[in-house]
Amino acid sequence: MSGGLPRYVQHRAHLALRVAAAALAAVLLSVAAPVAAQTQPDGSGSSANPGDPADGPRVRFTFDKHPSIHVRKLFELDVRVKSQTDWRDFPSGPGTVPKNVFDLHRARVGIEGTLLMRFDYQIEREFHDTTRPWRDVYMDARVLRDLQIQGGHFKIPFGLDQLTSGMDLDFSYRSLAGTYLAPGRDVGLMAHGRLFTDVVKYQAGVFRQGGENVRASERTEAQSDRTVAARVVVKPWSGLRTRRSLRSFAAGIAFTDGRLPEGRNSLRGKTVPGDAFFEPVYVKGGRQRVGAEFQWRPGPMSVQAEVMRARDQRHGQGIDNENLPDAVARGWYVSSTWLVTGERKKDTVKPARPFLKGGIGAVELAGRVESLSSGNKGSTGVSFAGPRAPWILGKTDNVWTTGVNWYVNEFIKLQADLIREQREAGGIIIPAQGRLWSRTLRVQFAL
């Protein structure tokens, strides 16, 4: 035994990863050969004459929004730098750890680019996190027009809020559901693409474990084994000659399915300040997630919503080794934003009139209502607190967030949020936790 898993299970997992890596390498080589042949400077490819002025210099260095290196059609490299600094005012309660007012939330450096016009890659490292420094480390191959194969360490396709880049969030922090119910990153292999002129976007993959988000901060071993995941998003009016405001309408569904090793490995939930809210219980069997998402961006406004449900099986986890009812966690949110300066809402907002360059930048108002809950309840309505209780005491954290985002220019963004929490246990507001206020100010820099 090692890390709670039998040796043959670990051997199978390692073997599966090696097979997946070999398959990805075969795919990369199969599509690289024809492209490499086209780029040979022998008169038969697209770079027939290296000295031809029309082709430009062999190596170009540019600095538009970030440093970039281009080597003809062979290689492109962009350097990225990301930084987020927070000033926080969180409520302190009994049994909670005091929080620092100042927090260097993100300090990342990475490279990304293209190889041979068919392979996209990204390597990103977080210097603020010494336990899990590597973030996205993957290569993505364009195999067919509507099919790409991605392999490496990246986000499991589940949860719109979780899949949104941390630099493009509408609020200082992700929703509680997106943070604690969505799986996050892991090592895996995924097929993805777009169909019918961008009407349908699909993602499907297999991953070594169940994602970084579901691992306890004090533990390094996985809380779930191999996981499969799929996500489909439909934009019914994409590409049609209809009202522009309808083209951004999108709705999707996603699911994951994985195996749980025996132990206190259920999902954990925390409050906005990061304090433990519902504790893990004993589980064994499978973990299934189901999620639905919605997004609409008509001009300077946006509306976004998600609902998630995670179910952990508890086979043989009763006091007399009997099967217990599944442990269930749920989460949802609805958010909306409005760019009062008139820019069109996109993933990355670029001010039409940057600060000190003819304008004040872009100003955005934002609001979100959300909830994260766990527990189950029998027919008698009786539930208990305890890791082996058949009916788990339900806990809920209801959160309201209002914020203002100031996009100073294409490099700097300021976010100010006012957050109110109301925490309940068994449907009753927890004493002294009925109205808790938090304030955050984030300064963000992206190169």
What tokens appear for 206 in the block? 């297999």
| pLDDT value of residue 3 | 41
What tokens appear for 384 in the block? 């208990």
DSSP, res 145: T
Distance CA 292, CA 305 (A): 8
Amino acid code (one letter) for 298: P
Query: Domain extents for the chain?
Result: 81-106+127-132+142-446
DSSP helix/strand/coil, 346 = coil
What tokens appear for 112 in the block? 């990304």
What tokens appear for 81 in the block? 């730098």
CATH class of the domain defined by 81-106+127-132+142-446? mainly beta
The CA-CA-CA angle for residues 210, 370, 308, to 5°, reads 35
From first to last of its 447 residues, the chain has per-residue pLDDT tens of 334 444 444 444 444 444 444 444 444 444 444 444 444 444 444 444 444 444 556 899 998 888 999 998 899 999 999 999 999 999 877 667 788 899 988 999 999 999 999 999 999 999 988 888 999 999 999 999 999 999 999 999 999 999 999 999 999 999 999 999 999 999 999 999 999 989 999 999 999 988 887 654 345 455 667 999 999 999 999 878 777 788 899 999 999 999 988 888 888 889 999 888 888 899 999 999 999 999 999 999 999 999 999 999 999 999 889 999 999 999 999 999 999 999 999 999 999 999 999 999 999 999 999 999 998 876 555 677 778 888 888 899 999 999 999 999 999 999 999 999 999 998 899 988 889 999 999 999 998
How far is Cα of residue 294 from the mean position of the Cα atoms in its chain?
16
Amino acid code (one letter) for 363: V
Q: What are phi and psi of 272, to 5 degrees?
A: -60, -45
| pLDDT value of residue 100 | 86
Distance CA 18, CA 411 (A): 40
How far is Cα of residue 232 from the mean position of the Cα atoms in its chain?
16
Nearest to 443 by CA among 82, 81, 84: 84
Distance CA 204, CA 255 (A): 10
Nearest to 433 by CA among 442, 443, 422, 444: 422
Give yes or no for a contact between 415 and 407, defined as CB atoms under 8 angstroms apart.
no
Q: Which residues of 181-205 are buried (b: 16+ CB within 10 A; e: fewer)?
A: bbbbbbbbbbebbbeeeebbbbbeb
In the chain, DSSP finds a helix count (H) and a strand count (E) of 3, 21
Distance CA 186, CA 209 (A): 7
DSSP, res 391: S
Nearest to 269 by CA among 198, 178, 353: 178
Dump strand ranges (E) for 90-226. 102-115, 119-126, 134-144, 147-155, 185-195, 200-207
Burial tier of 288 (Cβ tally within 10 Å: 0-12, 13-18, 19+):
middle
Give yes or no for a contact between 185 and 212, defined as CB atoms under 8 angstroms apart.
yes
- List, in sequence order, every residue forming a beta bridge with 404; answer none if it has no partner: 365, 416
